[in-house]
Amino acid sequence: MIVGFMASRAGRWLRIVTGSCLVLGGLRAGSSRGAALALLGLGPVVTGLLDVVPLGPLFGFSLRGEDIRRELGMPREASLLNGHHRRPLSVTLH
């Protein structure tokens, strides 16, 4: 299902990379069409980063990727970076 893929980590990365390519390609063109393409590319980048699936409501799901994954019984994904969490900075004074 397309909505399940778009809510997954791989789907989010695909949107981020595709949108980034559109932004960079549009900026590189240096024309008004290029600027429009760059502006269009911001959509997939932002939705991928914020875990929002705009197609969700069209298929009867929530807009939030986390809710879609829960409804479809997909494994819980913590972050885009393969579940790696930043370690808290430990400050010690000697």
Whether the model pTM is above 0.75: yes
- Match 């791989």 to its residue by tokens: 10
- Which residues have CB under 8 Å from 65's CB, separation 6+? 6, 7, 12, 51, 52, 53, 56
Per-residue pLDDT reduced to its tens digit, 71-91? 888 877 756 776 555 556 666
Tens digit of each residue's pLDDT (9 = 90 or more) over 53-74: 999 999 999 999 888 888 888 8
